[in-house]
Structure 1
Amino acid sequence: MIRVALVDDQALFRAGIRMLVDSQPDLEVVGEAGDGRQAVGLVREVRPDVVLMDIRMPVMDGLAATEELLRDPDPPRIVMLTTFDLDEAAARAIRGGASGFLLKDADPEFLLAAIRTVHAGSAVVAASATRDLFAHFASPGVRAVPPAYQDLTDREREIFALAARGLSNAEIAEREFLSEATVKTHVSRILGKLALRDRVQLVVFAFEHHLV
């Protein structure tokens, strides 16, 4: 069972998401909060697996709450909710460790799939904003590549480049004549060496350092 927490200042919106999530046999809502400060306390109390976090809320906004929660030793996966295709706060949250963002009017099936995807260790980004989001991280100047990148093996750099272009494990496996399990192992090692949380941060890293 995937445990989900809902954070949004609109009770009606939370009620709709709760009904959707609780209708699934493998998902359950374990708590709700109406602002970021409540969210921090709730998450630390009930320990959900995934948090759906609105960005704009009173008392403490979603970005501040996310930054605080991601400093905890074992934080949940956090997905930002926004009404804009490319929200500056959502971009900042992803750079800081959030697992992606969704539009609040996303298709219900996409939202459910996103919860499962994030719980499995991957990341999600509103499809309409993907290109603009990663262009946002492409700095105009050349940033020095961190020494950790030099520690990647030749094979890991090949996998890194393909993952940074958005290929899935299955697509990389087919292209490189590897098993999906092997690709998954390589990706995990790459993330570990570069101290990255997930594949979205891998893509951000690649764009920021002009590696794609």
Structure 2
Amino acid sequence: MIRVLIVDDEALVRSGLRLILEAAGDIVVVGEARDGAEAISAAGRLRPQVVLMDVRMPGVDGLAAAARILSAPDAPKLIMLTTFDLDEYVHEALRLGAVGFLLKDTPPRELAAAVRTVAGGQAMLSPTVTKRLISAFVDRAPSRAEAARRQLASLTGREEEVIRALARGLSNAEVGRELRLTEATVKAHVSRVLAKLGLTNRVQAAIVVHDADLH
């Protein structure tokens, strides 16, 4: 069973998410929190594998809570919950290490699938949602773009091809088909790219590519 913590200041939203996730059969909601402070405490106490957390909450917001939760040893996977009324908090949460974000009106089947995806170690970088929204919030200031390009300069030509493909939302299998590599080889390239760039997941790698305006 995949252990999930739900964090949202609206009781109705929490109840709805619990019903959807527990109906999946392989997911159990181990706790709920009303704000970031409760989320930090609950994450340490309940040890969930995945945290679904609203971006905007009174008191300690989702961004501050994300920083604390993701800095802990063996931190859970973090998915931010939001609406289309997005702001810079979402982008910053991804930079902190959140593995993606979901819209609050995500269909039940997709919600459960997303939880399974991140619990299995994959980031939520889908071409239809996450990639588009990351692009909207990347600050391409000249200084940031230059820093990102310097960071990417350490990569080999093949590694740069792989990371550009990741930034387009492709899975390892899709990258392999496009670049004529085995999935295992792609996975190895991804691991080396993350290590070279000092990143923790594919979403952060995609942000570097977008910062450099190389996607």
Q: Which residue of 2 aligns with 1:187?
A: 190
In 2, are the aligned partners of 1:86 and 1:129 still within 8 Å (CA)? no
Identify which of 154, 157, 178 aligns with 1:154. 157
Q: Which residue of 1 aligns with 2:12?
A: 12
Q: CA RMSD in A?
A: 2.0
1:191 and 1:155 mapped to 2: Cα distance? 14
Q: Which residue of 2 aligns with 1:143?
A: 146
1:94 and 1:11 mapped to 2: Cα distance? 25
Q: Which residue of 2 aligns with 1:86?
A: 86
Query: How far is 1:167 from its partner?
Result: 2.1
Aligned amino acid, residue 53 of structure 1: M
What's the TM-score once normalised by structure 2's chain length?
A: 0.89
Q: How many residues align?
A: 212
Q: Which residue of 1 aligns with 2:135?
A: 134
Query: How far is 1:11 from its partner?
Result: 1.6
Aligned amino acid, residue 178 of structure 2: R
Q: SS of 1:73's equivalent?
A: coil
Q: Which residue of 1 aligns with 2:106?
A: 106
What's the TM-score once normalised by structure 1's chain length?
A: 0.90
Q: SS of 2:43's equivalent?
A: helix
Query: How far is 1:85 from its partner?
Result: 4.9
Query: How far is 1:137 from its partner?
Result: 1.0
2:2 and 2:116 mapped to 1: Cα distance? 8
Query: How far is 1:52 from its partner?
Result: 0.3
In 1, are the aligned partners of 2:2 and 2:119 still within 8 Å (CA)? yes
In 2, are the aligned partners of 1:66 and 1:93 still within 8 Å (CA)? yes
1:47 and 1:132 mapped to 2: Cα distance? 29
Deviations, residues 8-51 of structure 1 (Å, cap 9, x unaligned): 11222211211211122321111111111011000001111100
In 2, are the aligned partners of 1:85 and 1:128 still within 8 Å (CA)? no
Identical-pair percentage: 48
Deviations, residues 137-159 of structure 1 (Å, cap 9, x unaligned): 15142423466534333322221
> Which segment drifts farther, 140-149 or 154-163?
140-149
Q: Which residue of 2 aligns with 1:75?
A: 75
2:24 pairs with 1:54: no
> Which segment drifts farther, 75-84 or 139-148?
139-148
2:57 and 2:147 mapped to 1: Cα distance? 37
Gaps of 5+ in 2: none
Aligned amino acid, residue 165 of structure 1: R
Q: Which residue of 1 aligns with 2:24?
A: 24
Q: SS of 1:30's equivalent?
A: strand
Q: 1:86 to 1:205 in 2, by over 3 A?
A: same
Gaps of 5+ in 1: none
Aligned amino acid, residue 135 of structure 2: F
> Which segment drifts farther, 57-66 or 156-165?
156-165
In 1, are the aligned partners of 2:131 and 2:169 still within 8 Å (CA)? no
